[in-house]
Structure 1
Amino acid sequence: MADSQKLLTNSLTNRERTAALLLLTLTVFAIGTAELLPMGLLMPIANETGVSISITGMLVTGYALGVVFGGPVLSAITGRLPRKIILSLFLCIFVIGGIVSTVAPSFGVLLVGRIISSLAHGTLFGTMIVTAKELAQPGKEGRSIALVGSGLTVSVILGAPLGTLLGHQFGWRFPFLVITCLSTAALLGIMKLIPPLPRVEVGSLKRQLRIVSRPSFLLVLLITIFGTGGTFAAFTYITPILEGISGFSEGWITIVLLIFGVGSFIGNIVGGRLADKQLMPTLLGGILLLAISMAIFTWASHDKVATVISVFVWGIASYSIIAPLNILVLQKAGDAQELASALNISAFNMGNAIGAFIGGLVIDSSLGLSAVPWVASLVAMIGILLAIWSITLDQQEYRKAGSFS
């Protein structure tokens, strides 16, 4: 089965391969934008549905929980289906959730629509990452994963701000409608352009669970959680830092955030290319640069020019580790690829939540807002220690295997 998969992948022309990868990138962009939409539309949604801002925030929290718990469970259940069918099925579910959200007559129905979409999110992302790896030319898996993952960075840079603008101009339902139409177009494209990749042999559910419960695999998930958590411990509160400490106006804050987004796009592409050559050095170097850049931002945030430079480097570092983490997870997943990838998506979301929570604790403590970046740096340092531990375990297992050969 694996040989037939390689034959089919190798038979694709560069044009067919590129078209399929760009289609997956578009799909990631649509899903990433849909996840972020409510953050910029809380006020108009709250005003129309008649609920408080805090209750409206459940649209974000409920979605995140659906991704964290729904992705691994549904990936395990559907693990033996062909990947093209999984993509089509779950993107259809995602579209249904978008339709429900667009026409929702009440907040409760809107929340149900968001949860429906979130349940498809984790499995879709996990399967698209595996598919991107399989569509890649040999030795270029990292850059293919980075290309597809760039859809997420573009959703942060362009999708979410544009969605907020459209929502304030034409009502909050309109951007939901646009994303639903875009997702429908992506669904039709997947049905036409994604080749019917044969499945590699998938282990039983018991075997898959045994793989993803191994200490070496769980260690990688922890690296994802703390690497991502380090970024979001500070990035969640970057606006009040830029306004209250750096002294930027509202217009300039948007520009600084755009600079972070440009850096993240560059970091994602560079990290994917370097991961194809040296996986663990790329991962370690990326997390180290992340920790250093956030620590420097603690002092740089008091000077506007230094702030812009450090934010740009921070953006590069934060997304340079995404492709290496995805590749590392897939390397350790064996025949539990989809389940492992979905668990890693859950770990990314868990890192977002934990990081934001830690940053909030720091703000409420005697340390205050100015201490958030260096505390975030310490969180990222935990990721470095875990990565070193992972390398040590791999070396021990390699030596042990050599002693038995």
Structure 2
Amino acid sequence: MTDSQDFSNLSNRRRMTALILLTLTVFAIGTAELLPMGLLLPIATETKVSISTTGMLVTGYALGVVIGGPVLSALAGRLPRKTVLSVFLLVFIIGSIVCTAAPSYGLLLAGRVISSLAHGTLFGMIVVTAKNLAQPGKEGKSIALVGSGLTVSVILGAPLGTLLGQHLGWRFPFLVISLLSAAALLGIMKQLPPLPRSKGGSLKGQLRIVSRPDFLLVLLITIFGTGGTFAGFTYITPILERITGFSSDSVTIILLVFGAGSLLGNIAGGSLADKRLVPTLFGGLILLAVSMAVFTWSSHSKAAAVISVFIWGVAAYSIIPALNMLVLNKAGDAQELASTLNISAFNLGNAIGAFIGGLVIDSTLGLAAVPWVASVVTLLGIVLAIWSVILEKNRKCDRLPEYPFENRTA
């Protein structure tokens, strides 16, 4: 019996309540991850450290997600998923409380690391749970719904947190995140049905699955797909100000346009992935590569730049539900560990993309070349996706479909 069958008798109301609670959790975690980016100056001033040192609050968090998520997910073993969700959300809350009360930079960084260790496992568990809670044939929509919490954290949560921090002190947003997460925890403990872990897979067996070349290839698609987005998006503000000629106030509005596009792309990508997974992934990756390449030229025109940014947002987030579903379809009995590894791949892609963009800016190519280089990074993701499909077809021809795509995704 699969986990999804265990949930077949759930009422639509309880199913939706559970998904909303998971979405709220994703929103809180996503907002917390981004908070220091808008509060570097006040944090640096109060804690008496340099801005570059304060930036470790972002870098340290990302490393905690990449390293801690897979390790802790594996150590959690076969504990019921509801238990794991509750425990790790509690750990995340403890980290946020430490950040709120931290009297020094060292304790603030420690609080960030504590929260980051829970981040990867929580996201991985939430994606798998969203898939299991979905009605048959609507897994992509369910994953897209909880994923929208991350999108809203980018376009609303982080800016609002920055605003609160600037007027009420940088600790106040961390307190709000703590309270919001506590509310989500209480709701999950009360409303989420019992969630057993995937059956039949020992830790050794799960490690065998996630170390397979074809599975690692899917993780590379995630790294380069998201890496392309963040190679460009990390530096979109200086591009819009210095090349396009927008004011800083106008850039804020344009970022909301990107956010609106990403929300639409996430919803559309989830719906389309339920019908045709592989074509949805390829379509999104191609649109992403093209939109960023076009932005190299459209960034010289204000109207064209706004249109390009919107399409860029749609494309960037349309691939996320498809990537999550692809990983789960390849994971067999390693659903939770595989999903957590994919979250680590997302974060690694973000870090690599931002690093590549920085190298381009410091090179003779300069700021104007960032969009087309970002497009090239995504093209690598497309090549890897083609390779993955070829390997899958060869495996089917050889009659060795150990972890094939579902029929509807072919």
Band of TM-score, shorter chain: over 0.9
- Show the counterpart of 1:33: 31
1:146 aligns with 2:132: no
Q: Provide the C-alpha distance between the structure 1 equivalents of 2:315 and 2:32, rounded to a whole number of angstroms.
A: 25
Q: 2:68 aligns with which of 67, 70, 91?
A: 70
Q: What secondary structure does 1:198 align onto?
A: coil
In the alignment, is the contact (CA less than 8 A) between 1:68 and 1:122 conserved in 2?
yes
- In the alignment, the residues of structure 2 paired with residue 333 and residue 402 of structure 1 have an alpha-carbon distance, to the nearest angstrom, of 15
Aligned partner of 1:43 in structure 2 is 41
Decide whether the 8 Å contact of 1:27 with 1:186 is kept in 2.
yes
Deviations 1:125-165 (A, max 9, x none): 00000000000000000000000000000000000000000
Q: Secondary structure at the match of 2:7?
A: helix
Candidates 174, 193, 202, aligned match of 1:195:
193
After TM superposition, the score normalised by the length of structure 1 is 0.98
Q: What aligned pairs does 1:223-262 form with structure 2 within 5 A after superposition?
A: 223-262=221-260
Please say if residues 218 and 385 of structure 2, whose CA atoms lie closer than 8 Å, have aligned partners that are also in contact: yes
Matched to 1:370, the amino acid is A
Unmatched runs of 5 consecutive residues or more in structure 1: none
Superposition misfits of 4+ residues, deviation over 2 angstroms: 5-8, 197-200
Amino acid aligned to 2:187? G
In structure 1, how many angstroms separate the alpha carbons of the residues matched to 2:374 and 2:396? Answer: 34
| Structure-2-length-normalised TM-score | 0.97
2:181 corresponds to which residue? Answer: 183
Q: Which deviates further from its counterpart, 194-203 or 342-351?
A: 194-203
Aligned equivalents of 2:136 and 2:281: distance in 1? 20
Q: CA contact under 8 A between 1:79 and 1:339: conserved in structure 2?
A: no
Identity of aligned residues (%): 74
| Residue 348 of structure 1, CA deviation | 0.3
1:289 to 1:88, Cα distance in 2 relative to 1, 3 A? same
Matched to 2:388, the amino acid is: S
Q: Which residues in structure 2 correspond to 1:4-403 (within 5 Å)?
A: 5-401=3-399
Q: Quick one: which amino acid aligns to residue 122 of structure 1?
A: G
Residues matched between the structures, number: 402
Kindly tell me: are residues 307 and 186 of structure 1, through their superposed partners in 2, closer, same or farther at Cα, counting changes over 3 Å?
same
SS at match of 1:11: coil
Q: Is the 8 A contact 1:272 1:320 kept in 2?
A: yes
Question: Aligned partners of 1:386 and 1:127: how far apart in 2?
Answer: 26
Displacement of 1:10 in angstroms is 1.1
Distance 1:325 1:6, change over 3 A: closer
Deviation track 1:250-297 (CA, whole Å, cap 9, x = no partner) reads: 110000000000000000010000000000000000000000000000
Per the alignment, residue 405 of structure 2 pairs with: none
Supply the distance in 2 between the matched residues of 1:68 and 1:129 (Cα, whole angstroms).
Answer: 17
Q: Distance in 2 between matches of 1:305 and 1:202?
A: 55
Q: For the Cα contact (< 8 Å) 1:28–1:125, is it kept in 2?
A: yes
Going from structure 1 to structure 2, the CA distance change for 1:254 and 1:211 (only over 3 Å counts) comes to same
Structure 1 equivalent of residue 408 of structure 2: none
Displacement of 1:79 in angstroms is: 2.9
Q: Name the CA shift for 1:15/1:370 in 2 (closer, same or farther; >3 Å).
A: same
